[in-house]
Amino acid sequence: MRNILFLVLTGIAGFTRAADVDVTTHGAKGDGITVNTTAIQKSIDACAASGGGKVIFPAGNFMSATIVLKSNVVLHLSEGCTLTGVKGASNYPYQQAGIPFYGENWAKQALIYANKAENTGIQGRGTIDGQGASFEINTIKKPDRYMNRPYLIWFVGCKNVQVKQVHLRNSAFWMQHYLGCEDVVIDGISIWNHSNKNNDMIDIDGCKNVRITNVTGDSDDDGLTLKSTSKLISENIVISNCVFSSHCNGLKFGTESTGGFRNVTVSNIVIKPSAQLTTIYGKPAGTSGISLEMVDGGVMENISISNVVIEGPQVPLFIRLGNRARKHTDGAPEPGIGIARNIHISNVTATGADVTGSSIIGLENAIIENVSLSNISLSGSGGAKADAMFRPLETLADHYPEATMFGTLPAYGLFVKHVKGIRLSNINCTFSGADERPAIALENTSDFELKGLNMQSTVNTKAPLYLKNTANGFVTGNSIYTPAKHFIWKEGTVTNVAVNNNNHPKIKSASNQNVKK
């Protein structure tokens, strides 16, 4: 019996090994000259036909145009191997995703493509290089300028996808787009994407059950980006132990938000300046660290972000609920105003920000609800004068969301507007150059608690805390050890706000007593 079991097990093992296919057995050559598209596709097809396994690339430089992955087939790139995309958009045939999404009329090409495949992916310590700089921008007019620039990797409607260890370089467009996929694991990969416009790092779009871990990436456009370009919600997503650099937004939800984002946890992340000093978009240190943006309908809820270090971006934190209301397809109905609620951010250290300030801004008819920020340190350059606190902000409801869209904000640390139910605890706001604005400003905000705030100020600061048209709040246990004219500046209607147990030894006046500017 023992011998029979041994024979059965060795037979299974032998079958598994037999399904693995070396691309050179079908004529692929890693000489950096031969175009191996046909040979690689034959290897994939043969592997799939035999029940699945690995398609193995040995060391060498394998040139290829579009290859299509199949179910139960994994590309294995050995150390010392580079899979290089050939130049020329005509080598990348248009694909039909089968999922209506914003971009379906122009985002149609990829070096590696899979549609409705299961148990598939890419692994190994080799490199995939898209030669992205060789693809030209067609026209300055949107959306045509996006056409004929392939993704490096495009998975559509796939299940059980794993991308591990590989090095991804130089896409002509987004580096990787996962659209409508389930059970996705991205682990241990490295990314460099500074070749062309729209060089996003990772785009998770309407996917569910996703784990992204141990990723190091550097991109010209947005870094790790959650999107919802279709009716599908991006949900049940875990992101941890990563280091991101971006000239734009290090971690971003949006801008497309048709379905929305639900049940997302982010932890143990570093967002730092890019190693690439020349830019296509943005700035070397980045535009924003964390941007959560809802402007095309949808729902953003149950978001937890913790243990993050942000070094350098202009704006550390930006949460926006707007109403651009862009349809995800031409025939779709215009989306209604979205929902943003249950957002919790903790243990964040942000340094090197500019004068702008962080913000959480909804609309008068679209209030952001239930937000907590705790154990947050925000350090910026400072530089604004006291009257900047009174600068009226345009609504900009239908504008493209960007962390710098409102210009210099009324507060150098955090500006909050159109929010219900916000708790700020243990927030430390400082500047390197004198800034006369408040550290924290709340406008059209209700049901709030401000506790354990440490706010830097100057002798010309009207107050480190600014309340305008606010109601139902607690201001307690806060400390200010620098001078200012008042502790709180009140404007408009401020009702049912309890202020107690605050320590401000260099500020004699607790409030301006509703004196207008």
Write the CA distances from 183 to 137, 204, 421, integer angstroms.
34, 12, 34
Say what the pLDDT of residue 137 is.
85
Give tens-digit pLDDT for 424-449: 999 999 999 999 999 999 999 999 99
Residue 216's DSSP bridge partners are: 190, 243
pTM of the model: 0.94
Give tens-digit pLDDT for 197-237: 999 999 999 999 999 999 999 999 999 999 999 999 999 99
Asked if residue 24 has a cis previous peptide bond (ω within 30° of 0), the answer is no
Say what the pLDDT of residue 19 is.
86
Say what the pLDDT of residue 494 is.
97
- Whether residue 194 contacts residue 220, with contact meaning beta carbons closer than 8 Å, is answered with yes
In angstroms, rounded to a whole number, what is the distance separating the alpha carbons of residues 160 and 319? 32
Say what the pLDDT of residue 325 is.
95
Give tens-digit pLDDT for 270-287: 999 999 999 999 999 999
Q: What is the mean pLDDT of the chain?
A: 95
In angstroms, rounded to a whole number, what is the distance separating the alpha carbons of residues 472 and 496? 5
In angstroms, rounded to a whole number, what is the distance separating the alpha carbons of residues 125 and 80? 8
Look up tokens 């037999």; give the residue. 18
pLDDT at 15 over 70: no
Q: Span 135-146, mean pLDDT?
A: 79
Say what the pLDDT of residue 453 is.
98
**Buried b / exposed e along 475-491 (16+ C-beta atoms within 10 A):** beebebebbbbbbbbbb
| Cα of 38 vs its chain's centroid, Å | 36
E-strand stretches of 312-367: 315-321, 339-353, 358-361
Give tens-digit pLDDT for 169-201: 999 999 999 999 999 999 999 999 999 999 999
